[in-house]
A and B are shown apart, each in its own frame.
Chain A
Amino acid sequence: MRKSRLFVVLSLSFLLAGILAAGAFAAEKVFTIAYNEEPQTSDMQMTTSCYMIPMNVYDRLIECVTTAPGKSALVPGLATKWEVSKDGKVYTFYLRKGVKFHNGEELTAQDVVYTFDRMLDPKTKALNTDILDFVLGAKDRMEGKAASTAGLKALDRYTVRITLEKPFVPFLAIMASPQASILNEKFTRPLGNKYGLTAQATCGTGPFILKEWVLNDHHTMVANPNYFRGRPQIDKFVVKIVTDPETMRMLFESGEIDLFDCDFAMSQIPYFTSHPKWGKQTVSGPRVGIYYYTFNQAIKPFDNVKVRKAFQMAVDRKLILQKMFYNHGQLENGVMPRGLIHYNPNQEKIEYNPEKAKKLLAEAGYPNGVDMEIALVASTGSQWQKMSEIVQAMVAKAGFRVTLKQMDEAAFYATRKEGKLPMYTNKWSADFNDPDNFFYTFFGPKGTVARSYNNISPEVFAALEKGRSETDFAKRGKLYADLEKKIVIDQAAWLPMFSLKHIYVVQPRVKKFVVPWNGWSDFPIYETRVE
């Protein structure tokens, strides 16, 4: 061959090789996000807040999926069908056959029994036992009085029977929450307390396998080719741990991460939505969750219902929604937010009326106004702080003189647990699609103290218990609607603010991103598509 032709052939082959190589790399679809806290464990029984790994590495008996914005449905997961006995106490789950764990073992009923019994085993020191509290024999198991849980039984290789002490209607919805993910007995039992601390010590049935984990730096999940629903489109899912929100945002703007959760920079939402490039890249979904302010009835002046009602009327919630959150949400007036089953669109609204508030305060015995505190967790840049500072200025017009009391997180939660925390604000997103998740959490007998409401009301407690076991759908809806009115209007036990959309910004290469049904910050990426 002549030299020049040789040269051409060689360079073309190099070019081809280069293209193929680049193609091979480009073919690997990687989805990178930033997370602001080290999850520290992949064991969903040992963490109450970091569920990104469990939602992608495990499956549950039932799954809750987004069917339309703000709408969700319970669909079969690891269980193809289930039956509930007439008395509402016995649940039978028929498992899907042929589902493999990442270690090659097949999913059997024994795995399910083992997983839930492990949660209740005192040696596990699990934190999420409340999802199984009402299973028959759970209390004895947790107190160490029994070596196994009476209500958990494997009828045969693919059938699980769970018996409850009392009927508990939210049970199916709870089985779809990440805390109820299923583990493999053969893999998990020998690891004991070491389960979930490394990538090698994690095993589930989910669409992704936890491959790499550098503590406080990042963790990586890779696609599970044998996933029973089919291999995910994304090959690699990288989660970087970035505690600083501004750094996170810079990582996004420089293209190093594919998704930015605007919860970390809510004040920047207008910047993103009006940006020439990012404006088209926002994805949002409603949050089945509610922002609220609490009243602690054990601390004056909020022992007086008139004072509480006055405060409810002294906050211009609409203005806050507009100015702080750019109207990306809606006012809430009850306990159940939009999107939740049994949500009551006809709940009585709370009005904004500072003059009336002032009059009520005077009637309550505080004609010259009253001093009060709002507790804050000291983390600057946080929306809570800003909102409370605004509220502080607003309620002054009605006569409430607010002092902001800063504490660090640990002190905050410790004081709250004792029932001694003054007013504070937070948000709650649904763990599972049932009103009980809201009502019982805040106004149940233990929760009302542990969350510093101290709304000690036997009627409310009784109604809550009844709601848990009422199997008639319509009756249940009415029960919760009435209870809502009682708590928010009659007793003025808290101040509901609004529910906000959860807004994300994604890189152009992300072709599809589904916001989870409840607007959570932890999400499964099985449905996500990247270029």
Chain B
Amino acid sequence: MLKFILKRLLISIPILIGVTVIIFFLLNVVPGDPVALMMKEHISVDVVARVRAQMHLDDPAIVRYFRFLAGALRGDLGESYKLNRPVTSLILNAFPNTFVLALWAALFAWVVGIPAGILSAVKKYSLPDNLFMGFSLLGVSMPVFWSALLFQYVFAVKLRWLPVAGFEDWRYVIMPAIVLGWSSAGIIARLTRSSLLEVMRNDYIRTARAKGLHELPVIFGHALKNSLLPVVTVMAIQVAGLLAGAVITESVFGIPGVGRIAVNAIQARDMPLLQGAVLFETTLVILGNLAADILYAFLDPRIKAA
């Protein structure tokens, strides 16, 4: 097990380096000058030239890349071009916000999705099943910014139950968490349902039933344990995905998280900040996948027995 984890972590390093190379290459090819952009309408070509020289932006690409890489290996991701602050602190300050949002979204997804999936599987083709599956499908099919806007309009403007945007206390998390978590809830519900149905069809369950065991213990004792295996691995991946990708939700609800930072960095051609944000998110996704694989190996009865 330990060897497995180490090997995976080792493989992650070339992946991370590959990611930085891609970003570096793309941002160099993309037209756009961060300094000219900072000056916008008040452009002065002299100032732009002078500031660019001071920021070493005109050095050859390879030199700049290795300078960045050397710094990154030391743990120094440099300073944001636009915000003039160390990238590491910017991301570490924004991360807790993304984390809180992702956590609540994930909790919503699991607390709503799993029971919904179980109920749907048990009461297949009944009204609750159709309702839950309908809810799940809706979650998976709606554009996030559309549902975000509708939520804001209904609950914040018309009903005045919740605040519109911002991130001050627990009330601010409710709508974004639901909007963000709805599609994850849908995926979990559908997966739980199909996985449970799958397992219930299996022979050993039929055997257990034939042995005369009651419906309820049968389900919860045997089927659930095994059907949750793929669900749990997906949950681990989902958390990583939520942490890394809540860009639109953060944008509409005004949450100062890592997703917003990344989008702003792209728009401002802020290379150091973008590298930092993407490296951060990529690491999360890699860790999430790793956790999923470990969980899977850990829980899979076949591997356990072996």
Question: Which A residues fall within an 8 A CB radius of B?
Answer: 38, 40-41, 46-49, 122, 125-130, 142, 193, 197, 214-218, 240-244, 246-247, 250-251, 253-254, 256, 407-411, 413-417, 426, 428, 431, 446, 449-451
**Does A216 contact B84, Cβ atoms closer than 8 Å?**
no
**Does B267 contact A410, Cβ atoms closer than 8 Å?**
yes
- Alpha-carbon gap, A518 to B167, bound state (A): 34
- Alpha-carbon gap, A105 to B42, bound state (A): 33
**Does A414 contact B47, Cβ atoms closer than 8 Å?**
no
> Contacts of A47 on B, CB cut-off 8 Å?
38
**Does B54 contact A122, Cβ atoms closer than 8 Å?**
yes
Taking CB atoms and an 8 Å cut-off, the chain B residues in 235-269 that contact chain A are 251-254, 256, 260-261, 264, 267-269
Q: Closest CB of chain B to A290's CB: distance in Å?
A: 13
**Does A415 contact B38, Cβ atoms closer than 8 Å?**
no
Determine whether B5 belongs to the interface, using a CB cutoff of 8 Å to chain A.
no
- Alpha-carbon gap, A417 to B40, bound state (A): 10
> Contacts of A197 on B, CB cut-off 8 Å?
84-85
Interface segment, B29-37, B194-202, B278-286? B29-37
Q: Nearest chain-B residue to A410 (Cβ)?
A: B32
> Contacts of B33 on A, CB cut-off 8 Å?
410, 413-414, 417
Determine whether B45 belongs to the interface, using a CB cutoff of 8 Å to chain A.
yes
- Alpha-carbon gap, A127 to B256, bound state (A): 27
**Does A414 contact B31, Cβ atoms closer than 8 Å?**
yes
- Alpha-carbon gap, A247 to B149, bound state (A): 8
- Alpha-carbon gap, A450 to B149, bound state (A): 39
Taking CB atoms and an 8 Å cut-off, the chain B residues in 85-99 that contact chain A are 85, 90, 93-94
Determine whether B44 belongs to the interface, using a CB cutoff of 8 Å to chain A.
yes
Q: List 18 A-B contacts (CB under 8 A).
A: A38-B83, A127-B51, A197-B85, A217-B166, A217-B256, A243-B260, A244-B254, A254-B156, A254-B160, A254-B163, A256-B164, A413-B40, A413-B43, A414-B31, A414-B37, A417-B33, A417-B36, A450-B44
The 7 closest A-B pairs by CB, nearest first: A410-B32, A216-B256, A48-B42, A411-B31, A250-B164, A414-B33, A247-B165
Quick one: given A247-B253, A256-B164, are A127 and B38 in contact (CB under 8 Å)? yes
**Does A216 contact B267, Cβ atoms closer than 8 Å?**
no
> Contacts of B84 on A, CB cut-off 8 Å?
40-41, 46, 193, 197
> Contacts of B45 on A, CB cut-off 8 Å?
417, 446, 449-450
> Contacts of B55 on A, CB cut-off 8 Å?
125
Convert B105-117 into 0s and 1s, putting 1 for each residue whose CB lies closer than 8 angstroms to a CB of A: 0000000000000
Q: Nearest chain-B residue to A251 (Cβ)?
A: B164
> Contacts of A46 on B, CB cut-off 8 Å?
84
Of A250, A408, A450, the residue contacting B153 (CB under 8 A) is A250
**Does A410 contact B269, Cβ atoms closer than 8 Å?**
yes
Q: Closest CB of chain B to A88's CB: distance in Å?
A: 23
Extra contacts besides A413-B43, A450-B44 (14): CB < 8 Å: A38-B83, A40-B84, A49-B42, A127-B51, A129-B44, A130-B42, A197-B84, A215-B85, A241-B254, A246-B149, A254-B156, A410-B36, A413-B40, A417-B36
**Does A247 contact B164, Cβ atoms closer than 8 Å?**
yes
Q: Closest CB of chain B to A25's CB: distance in Å?
A: 17
- Alpha-carbon gap, A197 to B83, bound state (A): 8
**Does A122 contact B160, Cβ atoms closer than 8 Å?**
no
Determine whether B157 belongs to the interface, using a CB cutoff of 8 Å to chain A.
yes
- Alpha-carbon gap, A129 to B32, bound state (A): 22
> Contacts of B54 on A, CB cut-off 8 Å?
122, 125
Taking CB atoms and an 8 Å cut-off, the chain B residues in 147-179 that contact chain A are 149, 152-153, 156-157, 160, 163-167
Q: Closest CB of chain A to B249's CB: distance in Å?
A: 11
Q: Nearest chain-A residue to B166 (Cβ)?
A: A240
Taking CB atoms and an 8 Å cut-off, the chain B residues in 181-216 that contact chain A are none
**Does B50 contact A122, Cβ atoms closer than 8 Å?**
yes
Q: Nearest chain-A residue to B93 (Cβ)?
A: A215
- Alpha-carbon gap, A308 to B260, bound state (A): 42
**Does B165 contact A411, Cβ atoms closer than 8 Å?**
no
- Alpha-carbon gap, A318 to B169, bound state (A): 49
Q: Nearest chain-B residue to A49 (Cβ)?
A: B40
> Contacts of A242 on B, CB cut-off 8 Å?
165-166, 254
Q: Nearest chain-B residue to A450 (Cβ)?
A: B45
- Alpha-carbon gap, A414 to B269, bound state (A): 11
Q: Nearest chain-B residue to A451 (Cβ)?
A: B43
Convert B41-71 into 0s and 1s, putting 1 for each residue whose CB lies closer than 8 angstroms to a CB of A: 1111111101100110000000000000000
